[in-house]
Amino acid sequence: MVKVEIVEEKDNTGASPYSSPASSRTSSSASLSSVESDASVDESFLDRIAALKDIVPPSTRHSISTRVSKTASFFKRSTKLVGNIVWVVTTSALLVGLPLALALEDEAKIVQQEKEMLEQQQGAQQMMAPSLYAPGGEPGQSKALVPPGF
């Protein structure tokens, strides 16, 4: 609450026109302290914001309210759409992609096993095959298998 006080002018010959007597200073400071105490009595921040609605004209409030509701509706619809798209992509990846990845991994294991078996067979054939070296000869010496007469 604001306290208004009427100050009468006095003719002081040496005083400034802007100065006030000491008694009016104390009364104005007392009125300021009463304003501060009145403002803080059971008034929350939300109450102050709600009181500001009277400053904005009704047509502007309606316009702002309409825009906010349309924006909120747009964001709600778009988030629902994005959520549905993410759901479809995720479930499709799990239902199609995961079994495909597992099948490809199994195929790679089978190919690797076949390759190892082939290498083992080739190693066994090399062990069983006759030596290219002559019997009793050294690795660098071999007999030529050329028929006589040439």
Q: Which two tokens stand for residue 28?
A: 């104005």
Model's pTM, two decimal places?
Answer: 0.40
pLDDT for the residue numbered 65: 93
For the chain, 150 residues long, give each residue's pLDDT as a single digit of tens. Answer: 678 888 887 665 555 555 555 554 555 555 555 555 555 568 888 888 888 888 888 899 899 999 999 999 999 999 999 999 999 999 999 999 999 999 999 999 999 999 999 999 998 888 887 655 555 555 555 555 556 665
Sequence spans of domains, the chain? 26-124
